[in-house]
Structure formats: structure tokens, C-alpha cells
Amino acid sequence: MKILGISSSPRENSNSDLLLRRVLAGASSVEAAAEYLRLRNLNISPCRACGNCYATGECAVQDDFQMVLPKMLEAQRIVFATPVYFMSVCSQAKILIDRCQCLWARKYLLKQPVNPTKSGHRLAMVIATGGKKGKKMFESIRLTMKYYFDALDMDYFANLFVSNVEEAGKIGDNTEAIEQAFRLGVELVGADAITPKDPVEVELTL
């Protein structure tokens, strides 16, 4: 099984990135083939709203998105990690998500399969970390990721949300968060027969 981890944080040693690595470690422990991508190391431009994808289902902008797209489509599992910025995903995350408009066009306008060669049940989960406490901190994350995963033709399996963690790397001191990340990685790989009606929610406040 192929599992793709996408880290969108612009910071070194970020909390969302550390949790992502633990999820991938959990997946690898049950023999999944894990791949890690860090968006800050890639050149992905914003969507230009050129309309090309409405006619072709393909993005006309040539940059590193053309390398990331097949990885997202081939993966049987995706784990997407983002910090919370202004109550939403960070800009690096949003740029990648917006570029997936070509998949939305392929699926809903052109009525074509998003990935004609896909096989098996495809699932995705989200990791998000925020520096403050707040009851509504993750609401926008949930909605954005719901429609991103829909464009990818993936079912939304789980959320791992951690608030009140600001200092880079601080999450590594919290045993519960690290253990939950590893556990969700294991469960994500073994979840073929378990598609929850709503995503599994793990929300922690440090």
C-alpha cells in the first residue's frame, strides 16, 4: 500500500510536520510504503484561473504540481499536515489545494474519472496544529479538506487536531499526541473495511 504524507508548514521542525512523520512511521510499521513530500521545498504557483482545465481536465501551469499530482492520484492513503493560519490552512497548503481545480473540473464538469487506473479503497486524513486555544479553530480546516479530498476521489478518514502548541518542535514533548499520531497511521492502513460515516476525531489541547 502506498501512503503519501504532505507537509505544508513553512517552518523547520514544525509541530504539524513532526506529527506527520509519526503517522507515516505508524503506517510503515504495518508495511505500508510511505512517501514524504514537503511543499516548502517545491515550486508550486497559485491557480491562474485560466479556465484551461474546464475544457481539458488538465492544469496548464507547468511547475512542480505536475510532479505532485500523479503522486496524489496513485496513493491509496494521503496524510495532509498543516498549521492553522488565520483559522485556516497555511498558504502553501491552499496553493496546492487550489491547483486541484483541474480534478474538480475533470470530475464534475467533464464527467471523467479522476484517476482511471485507481484500485481499492482510498482514504485520507488531516493533521492540523494551532498556537492558541479556540472552539472554532479547526472548522475551516474540516470544510476545506472535505472538498479537497472529494476532488481527489478519497474518503475522509480522520482528523488529528492539536491546539495551544506554538513553539516549533514542542509537540515532540507530548507523549499523548505522538502516540495518537502513530496509532492513526496504523489504523489508516488497516481501514479498508472501515469507512466512518464521519471522520474519526482526535482533538487535543496542550
Pairing type for strands 88-89 and 77-85 reads: antiparallel
Find the angle CA(124)-CA(55)-CA(44) to the nearest 5 degrees.
50
Q: How far apart are the C-alpha atoms of 141 and 102, rounded to whole Å?
A: 21
Neighbours of 53 (CB within 10 A): 23
Q: What is the pLDDT of residue 88?
A: 95
pLDDT for res 117: 72
Going from the C-alpha of 37 to that of each of 6, 49, 55, 119, the distances in angstroms are 5, 25, 29, 22
pTM comes to: 0.95
pLDDT of the residue at 133 = 87
If 0-12 CB within 10 Å is exposed, 13-18 middle and 19+ buried, where does residue 92 land?
A: buried
Q: What is the pLDDT along the chain (206 residues), one digit of tens a residue?
A: 999 999 999 999 999 999 999 999 999 999 999 999 999 999 999 999 999 999 999 999 999 999 999 999 999 999 999 999 999 999 999 999 999 999 999 999 999 999 877 667 899 999 999 999 888 999 999 999 999 999 999 999 999 999 999 999 999 999 999 999 999 999 999 876 567 788 999 999 99
Whole-number pLDDT of residue 122: 92
- Distance between CA 124 and CA 155 in Å, rounded? 6
What does the domain layout of the chain look like in residue ranges? 2-205
- Among the listed residues 170, 166, 174, the one whose alpha carbon sits nearest the alpha carbon of residue 204: 174
Give the span between the Cα atoms of 112 and 103, in whole angstroms. 9
Query: Quick one: pLDDT at residue 92?
Result: 97
Q: Which fold is adopted by the domain 2-205? A: Rossmann fold (3.40.50)
* Residue-level pLDDT at 134: 81
